[in-house]
Chain A
Amino acid sequence: MRAAPDSGEAAHVWAVGGQVQGVGFRPFVYRLAQRFRLNGWVRNRSGHVDIFTQGNAQALVAFGEALFTEAPPLAQPQLLASDPAPCRPLAGFTILASEEGGKTAARLPPDMPVCDDCLRELHDPAGRRYRYPFINCTQCGPRYTIIARLPYDRPHTTLAGFPLCADCRREYEDPRDRRFHAQPLACPRCGPQLTFSVPGEPPLAETATALAAVVAALRAGVVVAVKGVGGYHLLCDAQQTAAVERLRQTKPRPHKPLAVMYPPDAGLARLRRDVWLTGEEEARLRDSARPIVLAAKRPAAALSPAIAPGVNDIGVLLPYSPLHHLLLEDFGGPLVATSGNIGGEPVLTANGDAERRLGRVAGAFLHHNRPIQRPADDSVYRVIAGAARPLRLGRGVAPLELTLPFERARPLLAVGGHLKNTLALAWGRRVVISPHIGDLDTVRGRETFVQTAADLQALYGVRAEAVACDAHPGYAATRWAKDSGLPMVSVWHHFAHASALAGEYPEIGEWLVFTWDGAGYGADGALWGGEALLGAPRRWRRAATFRPFFLPGGERAAREPWRSGAALAWEAGLTWDGLPEGGALLHDAWRRRVNCSRTSAVGRLFDAAAALAGLLREASFEGQGGMWLEAACGSEAAPIALPLGKNGAGAWQSDWSPLLPLLLDSGRAVGEKAAIFHASLAYALLAQARAARREHPIDAVGLSGGVFQNRRLTEQAAGLLAADGFSVRLARRLPCNDGGLCFGQLIEAGNG
């Protein structure tokens, strides 16, 4: 019995929410209580942590501060409640068993890179986890990709099949140990192991031997499929052109840039030899997501030229799992690290699938026996206009939780776009956005979509009572939404792009958002993609657009930029000698509008410019025309003014036709054409914004849609707008491409 007021004793209760589970928060509270000599208990409870402390009144105050200022790096505690309480008879401080309640407050943590403490142990020859590729603790290791269901306890993860040995059990149960309740805890004795296999040969199932075999294979120029955290990578020596070419030919992936993973030396010396790294880029490269960051390649980069043909940036990343650390350290040089998949499907995760599907690409496999519950591809960022912008949400970032600017009465699932698909689940004021799923035309894309939709709802204990989807009736996600039988909110593609941005800046009431992309189904039945939308979520109207043209050959136009080039030339009444054989038939079809869609998409203008300027005729990946045109740009150039007038529907319309003589002029260099094209579009954007401002009070201008992944255009447009007094907004948390559509769809759906 210690409750004596005159001794200065007091008691206090705290409820702490936010990111506090699966991140070592309770052991931290325990240690803190020991330090301040407080009695009491801490307990996980339906998504938050309850703490009862009793002791010296001043110590209680200090404890309350330290809870937030000294929290573990991964924890993001938010104070939910803090109240004095009556003193009780108590001795010592204990961690009480979790109380399972409603799951809806729980958080699903993303996967974490190996922490410094574990890295030290990884390299300590005296330690029992020396060079053990699955070392982890409460501050690091896999989460999203191993959790089968919540609450987050080992039996609910893919480690369930690995009973802890006595040593690991002791760490797991010791509140003073940083592995206290580290659910993926493992050691060489009781945890997962590596297996190296070459088809047709007996596998090497011993971890150290397997690691040595992988490094030898990579040195010999073999493409190796390596199972990591969220799926398989295809790795090969980034300096051996023959190896890189073989990977490109067999995958097949003829041109799309390949990411390169660098050894983790302290100063990133090897990395800096190949790319220029700004402070912002370096910070993002090192942050807890360890994403791929696009950085400018140095002319003297010691890399195969086949890594990223046609572009100036390469995607670089650092090792994040202990396995990747060991691999890169042992190999000692940069490795191509591209997703182990075929086409735009989600990255492969199962050992058998990898062998079956990647057999023609990979000469060897490095498997492990820790199952991956669901895929998470690497995240991708690019620094644009001063900040790192996500181009793809994946491992380490997603599931991404955001707060809604309104309270949703009924839980809603927003199912996103057709390519680069992501999903969002919203309930109350919470939104959880899935990692990148991919192309829904692929079998694996469709299966992962269905699994992720089910998993998000099951993990958070939230059942969607409505769905939001794109208005395009042919999107697989839209068909799925229809088949779900739930009330459906259908959202125009570009309204979703505008609202995804607006949802990141709820404080802004009135917008002009430029939604420029490759094309989406528009409200007038045409393919939009060059629209400026005025208003705010749920009340967008088209303020400006581009002169429409007819795109021949349906979806093939997305893969064949020459079609966009031909379409502009025909529309302008010019002849273009770049048509392939059979082009006359297409011209006939174009005249009769057979399988030709009307479009105003800027993405297709980029394709057309790339084709007319002679850069490329066919694209082997989405956005290649725009990327190659951006990379081709010479120094800054004076724009060509694009005439601006009102169209029949009362919207401002820019005419691209003055660009054609330039693009077709054989006397001018591609670099000059590309630079003038970018400048002209940036000035056309400014002209549209000014015209709209003459009619409406506009301050905030947003740039959303895949075209704004183009740094040259975006930075020039943003600079012009800012200089003209507009305040410019770009997406910060979500990709501006179709990966952000799901969030925009649920903002459009509103609170119903």
Chain B
Amino acid sequence: MDDTRISLAHGNGGRFMRELIENVFARHFANPLLDVQADAAVLPPVAGELMMTTDGFTVQPLEFPGGDIGALAVHGTVNDLAVAGARPLYLSLGAIIEEGLDIAQLERIAASIAAAAQAAGVRIVAGDTKVVGRGEGGGLYLAATGVGVRESAVALGMARIQPGDAVLVSGPVGDHGVAVMLAREQFGLRGAVRSDAASVYPLTAAVSAMDGLRFMRDPTRGGLATVAHEISRAGGWELRLRQADIPVRAAVRTVCDMLGYDPLYLACEGRVVAVIDAAQAETALAAWRRLPQGQGAARIGSVRQGPARVVLETGCGGERLLDELEDDPLPRIC
């Protein structure tokens, strides 16, 4: 058999599986709390409220400029904790591997997971692997659960949002969506745009002590426009976004213009959208801009009394409605 690729034997509970776990996962993830022999991890007592989240990762391709599925699993989970106002502490990881996956690629991804976890200051304390037959999975799926402790001064939530609040974004939008799309389609421009995948904890930590902070979210699937819709719907608010103020990288803009995509609907993996008391908006922006990740932060809009809708103020005085994303958007105006 081809020992450079994953076989069903890697999932049968025997020697192959033990070697895979020891050589690939345990080696990279090694930390004092991770015991591959144990059924459950023992975690030290924590002062404060625990917060927990879980997520699944199925991105294609598995590796793309600026990241891979492993780094994405760490960042996606960490970020869900961070935007909720928590300091991320621990992760568990489940890997569902498709028969035939290149073991060298799996190693690269494991190393990437480890690096991402270290950079984010979290430890991987539990894990699991399963192998599915050829054609039953997309090479590798990951499932992650994260645990953190609440740091924010208040319990953040959409219910705290008030009319007059400001809407901020921590940096340019659409990078991840464009990077993955270019990689997936193997376009010639591959590499022109890198995913923004990163832990947003430094960003959230920089503002979480502010009492005017209402709500934060990382605009992943569906992008900024979808987060705006979630906010609008939750409280019946009108969200006004100023198109000229929404940061979009020139390369992302070029690709989107050419292929006919709207960057406002494309995923980010290292950005934060925050709603904050307008009086504290500039302070928060300044705090973000002091961080390497937050240099492109911008105040992009405001919250108003309903009707519940998302309005994009375009450059020339136009007011367009941003609709909710369709599953399979068909051109309407050709």
| Residues of chain A having any CB pair with chain B under 8 Å | 250-252, 342-343, 345, 357-361, 418-419, 441-444, 446, 472-476, 479, 518-519, 521, 527, 529, 551-558, 582-586, 588-589, 592, 594-595, 597, 599, 601, 603-604, 622
Chain A residues with Cβ below 8 Å from B254 are 582
Q: Would you call B316 and A475 a contact (CB within 8 A)?
A: no
* Contact A586:B332 (CB < 8 A) given known A252-B316, A443-B319, A479-B323: no
Q: Mark B residues whose CB is within 8 Å of A.
A: 181, 185, 187-189, 254-255, 257-261, 309, 311, 314, 316-321, 323, 326, 329-334
Give A122 to B333 CA distance when docked, in angstroms. 46
For the complex formed, measure the closest distance between the CB of B181 and the CB atoms of chain A, giving whole angstroms: 8
Q: Shortest beta-carbon distance, B4 to chain A, in Å? A: 29
Of all chain A residues, the one with the shortest Cβ separation from B319 is A443
Q: Kindly name the residue among B187, B319, B331 whose own CB sees the greatest number of chain A CB atoms within 10 A.
A: B331
Minimal beta-carbon separation of A357 from chain B (angstroms): 6
Cβ–Cβ contact A475 & B320, under 8 A: no
Q: Is the CB of A584 within 8 A of B331?
A: no
Closest to B325 in A: A474
Assembled-state Cα–Cα distance A595/B257 (Å): 12
3 tightest CB-CB pairs across the interface, nearest first?
A: A553-B260, A554-B260, A519-B334
Q: Which of B185, B317, B332 contacts A588 (CB 8 A)?
A: B185
Report yes or no: A343 in contact with B318, Cβ–Cβ below 8 A: yes
Q: Cβ of A595 and Cβ of B333 under 8 Å apart?
A: no
Return the contact of A554 from the options B181, B255, B331 (Cβ within 8 A): B331
How far is B309's CA from A584's CA once the two chains are assembled, in angstroms?
A: 37
* Contact of A418 with B259 in the complex, beta carbons under 8 Å: no
B185-A592 in contact (CB<8A) = yes
10 contacts between A and B (CB under 8 A): A418-B332, A443-B320, A446-B309, A472-B330, A474-B332, A479-B323, A551-B331, A554-B261, A554-B331, A589-B185
Chain A residues, CB < 8 A from B320: 343, 441-443
Q: In the complex, what residues of A have CB within 8 A of residue B318's CB? A: 342-343, 345, 442
* A475 vs B334: C-alpha distance when bound (angstroms): 12
A604 to B254, CA, bound (A): 24
Bound complex: CA A535 to CA B259 (Å): 39
Task: Tell me the minimal C-beta distance from B305 to chain A in angstroms.
Answer: 15
* Residue among A358, A475, A595 making CB contact with B332, cutoff 8 Å: A475
Give the distance to chain A from B282, nearest Cβ to Cβ, in Å: 25
- In whole Å, how far is A564's beta carbon from the nearest beta carbon of chain B? 9
A584-B188 contact given A479-B323, A589-B259, A599-B334, CB 8 Å threshold: yes
Minimum CB–CB distance for B52 against chain A, Å? 36
- Counting chain A CB atoms within 10 Å of each CB, which of B181, B187, B259, B323 scores highest? B259
| Cα separation A91 to B102 with both chains bound (whole Å) | 106
Contact A555 B331 (CB under 8 A): yes
Q: Which residues of A contact B334 (CB under 8 A)?
A: 518-519, 527, 529, 551, 555, 557-558, 597, 599, 601, 603-604
CA distance A599 to B290 in the complex (A): 50
Tell me if A444 and B331 are in contact (CB < 8 A): no
Contact A474:B311 (CB < 8 A) given known A519-B334, A589-B185: no
**A442-B319, A589-B259 known, 16 other contacts, Cβ within 8 Å:** A443-B320, A446-B321, A474-B330, A518-B333, A519-B331, A529-B334, A551-B334, A552-B260, A554-B331, A556-B257, A557-B260, A557-B334, A585-B187, A585-B188, A589-B185, A592-B185
Q: Which of B259, B319, B330 contacts A597 (CB 8 A)?
A: B330
Task: State the CA gap A418–B318 with chains docked (Å).
Answer: 17
Closest residue of chain A to B322, judged by CB? A441
Q: Would B316 and A588 count as touching, CB distance under 8 A?
A: no
Closest to A357 in B: B317
How far apart sit A573 and B103, CA to CA, in the bound complex (Å)?
A: 42
